[in-house]
Amino acid sequence: MKMFPVRRCAVLVLAMVLSACGDDDAAGDERSADTADAAESGADGSATTSGDAGVPGTDGSGSGTDTAEEEEAATGYAACYPEFVEFLGIDIDALGLPVGEHCAGSAQQDFEGIERVVFLGDSISAGVGAPAGQGYRDILSERLRERYPGIVVDDCSRGGSVVADLLGAQIPQCFPEAEERRTLVVFTSGGNDVVGLAFSKATVEEAQPDVDRIVGRLRETLAWLQDPANVPGGVRVVYANVYEFTDATGLLDGCRLLAASGLSGTWLDGLEVYARLETGYAQAAVDAGTDVMFLEELFCGHGFNRDDPTGPCYERRGELWLSNDCIHPNATGHAQIADAFWAIIGG
């Protein structure tokens, strides 16, 4: 495998963070900015819903390992994302989380007999960054309706929400009483919880209580959903981990808009902070028997530092999947998120 210099910078938990940022009322402005800057950024706003998520093992731009011997030796997460294991120290396989052959995420649940789908989460789930009707939720809902005729689809996501809002506000809205139907819950959440850490360039020690709090609230959400008293019809849950815009380089200056707002330089402890957060999201899935989609890994090579030859995701580089606000997916990014969730759910 080609070696890259390790950058002890930030895995910008931020972008993920930020991706949750932005509320629904700001969506129109952000979409206008996307259109105006499309030529410069390389984001043409066209959705690609061909199912070719850019991860190893698909028809996307992921490169995987370099030799047949390495491909035989590596399995699971290590086979799909060797650079994340080698350069970021993320060892998902050690947790015992089975990773699907699609590499989009884990593979722990069956999705037969779904009668209702509920979307929760932040501005990514709310569709910010994509034209109306082209958010990942819209694309995924259409596919789910085709697979499960007569399915009910509900959305309680909201831009600007944090993980605590899943159980504090969104679940009460979408689950006002015990749910007798077999339900699939899908969400993106966590980015807004950690955005402040990136702006302050928190040390690992300073950030650890926040990481513990975020993962703890995620676990509380999963426990509530899996309680037969709350969803006696049974539940399946798929959620995304948190992404960032620096392509795992930690160089915060890559996106000019955020740099102008004060997010610049490097976040030296961000890499380990992010690794702990992603590991926590994966461990929560292992313990609850749910599934996690690898959003950070999926977008690496499609952010604002994708052309940096020293970046660990350089060999995965392709078109930009982020909008010009730096924190939300553009139309292509939303389509890729839909493809990744569908790879897990639709098999």
Say if residues 257 and 324 touch (Cβ distance below 8 Å): yes
C-alpha R_g of the chain? 18
- Domain boundaries, given as residue ranges, for the chain: 20-346
Distance CA 80, CA 102 (A): 9
Tokens matching residue 217: 């609230």
- Please tell me the pTM assigned to this model: 0.81
Provide the CA 311 distance to its chain's centre, in angstroms.
Answer: 20
Confidence of residue 262 (pLDDT cuts 50, 70, 90): confident
| pLDDT(49) > 70 | no
| Residues 6+ positions from 275 with CB-CB distance below 8 Å | 11, 88, 89, 90
Distance in angstroms (rounded) separating the CA atoms of residues 143 and 153: 11
Range 13-32 average pLDDT: 38
Domain 20-346: CATH superfamily, name plus number: SGNH hydrolase (3.40.50.1110)
pLDDT digits (tens, 9 = 90+) for 59-118: 444 444 444 444 444 579 999 999 999 988 999 999 999 999 999 999 999 999 999 999
CA nearest 311: which of 271, 340, 273, 279? Answer: 271
User: CA-to-CA distance for 332 and 257, rounded, in angstroms?
Assistant: 20
In the chain, % of residues over pLDDT 70: 78
pLDDT band at 16 (very low <50, low <70, confident <90, very high): very low
Confidence band for 289, pLDDT divided at 50, 70 and 90 = very high
Residue 260, pLDDT score: 75
Q: Check pLDDT > 50 for residue 19.
A: no
Given a contact cutoff of 8 angstroms between Cβ atoms, the answer to whether 328 and 128 are in contact is: yes
